Amino acid sequence: MACQLPLLALLLTAASATAMQCSTSALPHNARVDCWPEIVGASESACHGRGCCWRDDSETVNDDSEPFCFYPADYPTYRLVGSRDSPAGGAELALNFRRDSGPSAWPPSRQIDQVSLSVSAHSDRVARIQIADRPDTSRWRVPLPLFGGDETGAAAQQFSVRTSSSAGERFFVQVTRNSDGWPLFDTGSSDGAFGPLLFADQFIQLSIGLSAQVIYGLGEHLGPFAKPLNQWKRFVLWNRDAEPNPDRNLYGSHNFLLAVGGGGRAFGIFLLNSNAQEVMLQPRLGQRATVTYRTIGGILDFFVFVGPTPKDVIQQYHELLGPPMMPPLWSLGYHLCRFGFGTLDRLKFIYERNVKINIPIDVMWSDADYMDGFKDWTVGAEKYSGFDTFIKQIHSQHRSVVVIVDPGIKNNSTGYLAYDLGLKMDIWMRTADNKSYIVGAVWPGDVLWPDFTHPNATLYWQRSSNEFLFKYPVDGLWIDMNEPSSFYQGSDTGCPKGNPLDFPPYVPHIIGYNILYQGTVCPSARQYLGSHYDLHNLYSYFEAKATWQVLRTRPDGQKDNRQRQFVLSRSTFPGIQRFAFHWTGDNNADWYNLRYSLSTILSFNLYGIVNTGTDVCGFNSATTEELCIRWTQLGAFYPFMRNHNSLGLPDQDPAAFSPIAQQIMRYHISLRYAFLPYMYTEFYRATANGSTVARSLMEEFPNDEETWLIDDQFMFGPALMICPVTVEGAVDRQVYFPPSARWFDVHAQYFAEVTPKGLQTVPAPLENIPLYIRGGHVIPMQDPGNDTYHQKLLQPFLLIVAPDADGLASGSLFWDRNGVDDLSLGNYQLMEFSASKGSLSSRLVHQFPIGVQMQLFGLQVLGVATKPANVIVNGRKRQFMYSNGWLSVSNLVGVDLKSPLRASWN
Ligand SMILES: *[C@@H]1O[C@H](CO)[C@@H](O)[C@H](O)[C@H]1NC(C)=O
Ligand SMILES: *[C@@H]1O[C@H](CO)[C@@H](O)[C@H](O)[C@H]1NC(C)=O
Ligand SMILES: *[C@@H]1O[C@H](CO)[C@@H](O)[C@H](O)[C@H]1NC(C)=O
Ligand SMILES: *[C@@H]1O[C@H](CO)[C@@H](O)[C@H](O)[C@H]1NC(C)=O
Ligand SMILES: *[C@@H]1O[C@H](CO)[C@@H](O)[C@H](O)[C@H]1NC(C)=O
Ligand SMILES: *[C@@H]1O[C@H](CO)[C@@H](O)[C@H](O)[C@H]1NC(C)=O
């Protein structure tokens, strides 16, 4: 009988809690924050044991994802200790809080009772909100350099902050935008919160009310680009080698969201935290949706970007992380790769057969085929003998070679430098007890893991690759399997039982049944900067940085350390764009993956990793001729275009297909080369000014709500709209033409202007990808060459002037000396074009004698209402053609774009 008393007491407490704080009037459905985020174990009594409310059986729910167990409105919270002095605007605020007694979702031993809140201005347009333990017990903080900080005075600050201010007041923080009073970051007020702040050793959670209609970001995931705030949805971030499928955590973690609301007003939120984490979206309730951030380590370190346009938010975020690398010019060309060339002879054969049918190519790749037993920095003696000669031959044709390297180093002590040196320099990741090295398994068999956070790791990476790079002077490195991905679960011996880092009390909903170490290294593994638990999502960041460093200081004498480098990484973390580009991993050759490749590429452009592409024609499973044609058409407008295919599958290089398919592929790859000057300039803008390259229509037309959910057509820069066919057998498709712009059809005779606008069905025969030029822009083009080197050297330019409704157009052109120099050297020309009714002129913004011709061959003006009597270019009357609004001037002999241009037609 004695044991019944506590039980009764518990039930009574729970019952009164239900009555008082759990009702729908206190907490409408959409405002309920999940108190049982685990996959299993929810029950009414367990829920009450956490002091939470259990959903009434009689309640009707709108969505199966609604939680059964949720926090009551007055769940214990943190309260202000002391009171806050009235703060001078702009100054950093630092406040201390202590938690009420009462129930806790976590064992009290893990709960952190005192926390601090600090709010500061990273710049006048970026607020930083940090919530940490107090006193500071040196919890994990992400060692990421941040940029764009600016101690501007309060006068320039474009946001205001409200927080708890009197002793005992509950925790809250609100950031609003000054220009319109818009709430950007809002945990609630002194009257109540959107959900409780929970702060425990391995479980931190904060809910905010998000005033927006749609958000973008929270990757890496496969699926739609836009996330309308009308659903319960969980986004899990934990870097993982997994074939892209919806609702999986994938290779990279980017906890950034771009929020857009009425009138296209935008703001952004970035959580700088590297632990396993998840973001839970709930459907909107009136103006706001509850969004819950949950992480199992570190601190909460939020950055809030005031916008107010989507472009502003993107620029503010990119500025914080540092600019993306400017890609070498050659890397904008066509890349041909596959796993399973098997031998160098086969690789050469595939290369040559595509050269023979005049496919423009810049880069040949080798997957792990080239290695000796899959060991890094080795070359298979028989199958790839003569690889050095081949690289020289490719270089003599001014083309490039990129090879793969994986981080795991084979445990092979028979004279394998990368292994011996790693042991000697002691740079491997260690087991939790520091007694031995963590052993993983990847393609070569058992491997040890370089700890790229170790101060000597870059030196190790250089010394182990020196000989290889000297003999095989490849132009770029492709870093794969760097989540890191292991064929063991944790290690060859699993992970130490009972270690809370390997078996945390809560694991976000990752794939693999909540086993944090599935397919990777034990979180308890030791790295120089901390535990793998904290550093896992950063593994690729540090590897990319070291790899970039290796290429900058390579020994082959041909390169100096002031050249742009090419590193391609599968796994990513914010900031990696300073060292690497990205492809979207092991996709499948199907229409779904073609369709949604766009969302991923648009998302990575938001994250600042603008140079991203997807394996064209699909990696896993056999492609079809039609799919490969459609994918090549779309891939021609990916920032990064590489055809890549997996082991044992039929060839999918252009020459593998029928003559008709070859012709269509050649045309579209050439079309990419024709737009090279425009694309290169957009990359320059992204690097110099913080912008996307591939971008959504929403970004260009934020106040046109019709654009918000569109992710099957997109823009390259501001001026080109690409509308791929993503449905098998389709010969037409619907295209949305934002009515506020003029659109000219690239494939129509005389670049006919599109009318009417809005949603239209357009023809999309297999031969062509629907492609439109937006009025208001001047697009620099070039006759396509067989590679970027010869094109740059030999081909003349063409300018397309597409005026807007007022007859105005502008554009720019970035062109440089050799396509690889660091921008900081200034070896480039930058010119701006501006056109008004009947005239076009250029202005040099940055001048450098780049030593190459920039011959202007032709000028085409679209939308010219009447046939002009005269066309004058640089003071000379020129021959021209005119038809249906299209004016074309060619044979512009002697016009050098490096000098100011003056053209008129009237
Ligand atoms: C490498 O493998 C050998 C043979 O299996 C083993 O004895 C040795 O301990 C391994 N070395 C490391 C550093 O794990
Ligand atoms: C180490 O490499 C050599 C040469 O490639 C190979 O013969 C040997 O089997 C390897 N040993 C192990 C333990 O993998
Ligand atoms: C871990 O072990 C290595 C090698 O024995 C030793 O050099 C290092 O100091 C140890 N680290 C710690 C934190 O004990
Ligand atoms: C790095 O290498 C240097 C030179 O060998 C050595 O003195 C130093 O201890 C190493 N650093 C670490 C952290 O192991
Ligand atoms: C840089 O960004 C600002 C703000 O978005 C914009 O006004 C400006 O035109 C951009 N400059 C260039 C060179 O793209
Ligand atoms: C590419 O074109 C240039 C110029 O016509 C030519 O010199 C070069 O040989 C071509 N490259 C190949 C690999 O055919």
411: domain CATH number?
A: 3.20.20.80
Q: Which residue minimizes the CA distance to atom 2 of ligand 4? A: 456
Quote the distance between the C-alpha of residue 776 and its chain's center: 28
Instruction: Given the residues 406, 483, 699, 787, select the one marked as catalytic.
Output: 483
Diameter over CA atoms, the chain: 108
If you measure from the C-alpha of residue 436 to the centroid of ligand 3, how many angstroms do you get, rounded to a whole number? 10
Query: How far apart are the C-alpha atoms of 66 and 33, rounded to whole Å?
Result: 9
Residues 468 and 446 in one domain: yes
Mean pLDDT of the region 21-32: 89
Q: Is residue 900 part of a domain?
A: yes
Top pLDDT among 612 and 83 is at: 612
From the CA of 399, give the closest atom in ligand 6.
13
Residue 424 CB–ligand 4 contact under 6 Å: no
> Dihedrals φ, ψ of 200, to 5°?
-130, 175
pLDDT of 89 strictly over 60: no
pLDDT band at 106 (very low <50, low <70, confident <90, very high): confident
Burial class of residue 126 in the structure, from the number of CB atoms within 10 Å of its CB (0-12 exposed, 13-18 middle, 19+ buried)? buried
State how far the Cα of 143 lies from the Cα of 660, in Å rounded to an integer. Answer: 53
- Give the SS3 label for residue 501: coil
- The residues, any chain, with a CB within 8 Å of residue 711's CB and separated by 6 or more, are 224, 225, 226, 596, 598, 599, 602, 696
What pLDDT does residue 9 have?
A: 39
In angstroms, what is the span from residue 862 Cα to ligand 5's centroid? 25
Q: Are 709 and 226 in contact (CB under 8 A)?
A: yes
Residue 713 Cβ inside 6 Å of ligand 1? The answer reads no
Say which CATH number the domain at 859 has.
Answer: 2.60.40.1180
Kindly list the protein residues whose Cβ atom lies closer than 6 A to any atom of ligand 2: 373, 412, 414
Q: What is the pTM of this model?
A: 0.96
Q: Give the C-alpha separation, 762 to 752, whole Å.
A: 13
Pocket lining: 790 vs ligand 6, CB cutoff 6 Å: yes
Residue with tokens 């629907």: 770
Closest ligand 1 atom to 439 CA: 14
Active site residue 243: no
Residue count of the chain: 906
Q: CA–CA separation, 120 vs 323, rounded Å?
A: 23
Ligand 1 pocket member 439 (CB < 6 A) = yes
- pLDDT at site 13: 43
Mean per-residue pLDDT for 768-792?
97
pLDDT, greater one: 257 or 107: 257
Give buried/exposed letters for 724-733 (b at 16+ CB in 10 A, else e). Answer: bbbeeeeeeb
Q: Is residue 688 domain-resident?
A: no
In contact, 256 and 215? CB cutoff 8 Å: no
| Separation between Cα atoms, residue 538 and residue 528, nearest integer Å | 13
Can you tell me which atom of ligand 1 is nearest the CA of 423?
13
- Does ligand 4 have an atom closer than 6 angstroms to the CB of 456? yes
502 is catalytic: no
Q: How far is the CA of 372 from the centre of ligand 1 (A)?
A: 19
- The pLDDT of 161-185, averaged and rounded, is 96
Instruction: Among 414, 416, 439, say which to mutate for ligand 2: greatest number of ligand atoms within 8 Å of CB.
Output: 414
pLDDT value for 200: 95
Q: Does residue 699 contact residue 692 with C-beta atoms inside 8 Å?
A: yes
DSSP H or E segment with residue 209: strand 203-211
In terms of DSSP bridges, do strands 871-873 and 856-861 run parallel, antiparallel, or are they unpaired? unpaired
Same domain? 539 vs 438: yes
Q: Atom 10 in ligand 1: which residue has the minimum CA distance?
A: 411
Mean per-residue pLDDT for 134-153? Answer: 89
Q: Does residue 317 lie within any of the structural domains?
A: yes
Pocket test for ligand 6, best of 362, 790, 791, 795 (most atoms within 8 A of CB): 790
Indicate the helix (H) or strand (E) that contains 388. Answer: helix 387-396
Which stretches of 608-755 are DSSP H helices?
625-635, 659-674, 676-689, 697-700
The residues with which 167 forms a beta bridge, in sequence order, are: none
Which of 633, 651, 683 is the endpoint of a domain?
A: 683
Last residue of a domain, one of 289, 321, 353: 321
Element (H, E) at 289: strand 288-295
Q: Please report which confidence band the pLDDT of residue 561 belongs to, taking 50, 70 and 90 as the band edges.
A: confident
Residue 17 inside a domain? The answer is no
- pLDDT of res. 559: 56
Active-site residue, selected from the candidate residues 220, 367, 480, 787? 480
Choose the residue to mutate in 409, 410, 411 for probing ligand 1, maximizing ligand atoms within 8 Å of C-beta. Answer: 411
Are 792 and 829 in contact by the 8 Å Cβ rule? The answer is no
Residue type, 369: D
Spatial distance between the Cα atoms of 631 and 615, rounded to a whole number of angstroms: 9
Evaluate whether residue 718 is within a structural domain: no
Strands (E) located in 306-370? 334-336, 363-366
Flag whether pLDDT at 11 surpasses 50.
no
Mean per-residue pLDDT, 584-598: 98
Least confidently predicted of 84-93, 264-273, 748-757, 816-825 = 84-93
Which residue, judged by its Cα, is nearest atom 2 of ligand 5? 689
The answer to whether residues 782 and 859 belong to one domain is yes
Query: Domain check: are 549 and 636 in the same one?
Result: yes
Q: In ligand 5, which atom is closest to the CA atom of 311?
A: 5
- Give the pair of three-digit tokens for residue 247: 């609702």
Specify the pLDDT at position 7: 38
pLDDT on residue 83:
72
**How far apart are the CA of 421 and the centre of ligand 1, in A?**
15
Which residues have a Cβ under 8 Å from the Cβ of 666 and sit 6 or more positions away? 357, 358, 359, 360, 654
- Residue 289's pLDDT is 97
**Residue with CA at minimum distance from ligand 5 atom 8:** 689
Please say which residue of 663, 683, 703 terminates a domain.
Answer: 683
Residue with CA nearest ligand 1 atom 6? 411
The residues pairing with 831 across neighbouring beta strands, listed in sequence order, are 813, 844
Same-domain pairing of 408 and 358: yes
Q: Nearest 5°: phi and psi at 329?
A: -55, -40
Residue 274 is assigned to a structural domain of this protein: yes
In a domain, 576, yes or no: yes
- Across the range 776-783, mean pLDDT stands at 98
How far, in Å, CA of 398 to CA of 380, rounded? 25
> Domain limits at 286?
78-321
The burial class, CB within 10 Å (0-12 / 13-18 / 19+), for 290 is buried
Whose C-alpha lies nearest to ligand 2, atom 1?
412
pLDDT in tens, 616-665: 999 999 999 999 999 999 999 999 999 999 999 999 999 999 999 999 99
Who contacts 393 (Cβ-Cβ below 8 Å, separation ≥6)? none
Q: Any idea what the CATH number is for the domain that residue 209 is in?
A: 2.60.40.1760
User: CB–CB of 536/520 below 8 Å?
Assistant: yes
What are the φ and ψ backbone dihedral angles of 661, each rounded to 5 degrees? -60, -45
Rg of the chain (C-alpha set): 29
Mean pLDDT of 485-495: 98
Are 225 and 359 within one domain?
Answer: no
Q: Is residue 577 part of a domain?
A: yes
The preferred substitution site among 423, 456, 461 for testing ligand 4, maximizing ligand atoms within 8 Å of CB, is 456
CA dist 53 and 60 (Å) reads 16
Q: Which amino acid, one-letter code, is at 411? A: N
Q: Are residues 239 and 354 in the same domain?
A: no
Which of 164, 161, 159, 157 lies closest to 174, judged by CA? 161
Is residue 578 a contact partner of residue 522, using CB atoms and an 8 Å limit?
no
Question: Does residue 638 share a domain with residue 533?
Answer: yes
Predicted local confidence at residue 12, as pLDDT: 38
The answer to whether the beta carbons of residues 273 and 251 sit under 8 Å apart is no
* Preceding amide of 496 cis, omega within 30: no
334-336 and 363-366 as β-strands: parallel, antiparallel, unpaired? parallel
CA distance 638 to 635: 5
Task: Report which residue type is found at 767.
Answer: E
Domain total in the chain: 3
User: Which phi and psi (to 5°) does residue 374 adopt?
Assistant: 60, 25
Same domain, 346 and 461: yes
Nearest CA, atom 13, ligand 5: 685
Tokens of 79: 């309260």
Question: For ligand 4, what atom is nearest to the CA of residue 427?
Answer: 14
pLDDT in tens, 177-190: 999 999 999 999 99
Distance 196 CA to ligand 5 centre (A): 40
Please, which residues bridge with residue 581 across strands? 568
Q: Are residues 313 and 438 in the same domain?
A: no
Q: Which residue has 């699926």 as its token pair?
A: 223
Residue 38 preceded by cis peptide, ω within 30:
no
Which residue has better confidence, 449 or 152? 449
d(CA 341, CA 323) in angstroms, rounded, equals 36
The DSSP element (H or E) to which 351 belongs, if any, is: helix 344-356
Joined tokens for residue 127: 């607020």
For 265-306, the pLDDT digits (tens) are 999 999 999 999 999 999 999 999 999 999 999 999 999 999
- 270, 309: one domain: yes
Cis peptide before 484 (omega within 30 of 0): yes
From the list 362, 369, 392, 421, the residue with the least C-alpha distance to 566 is 362
In a shared domain, residues 307 and 343: no
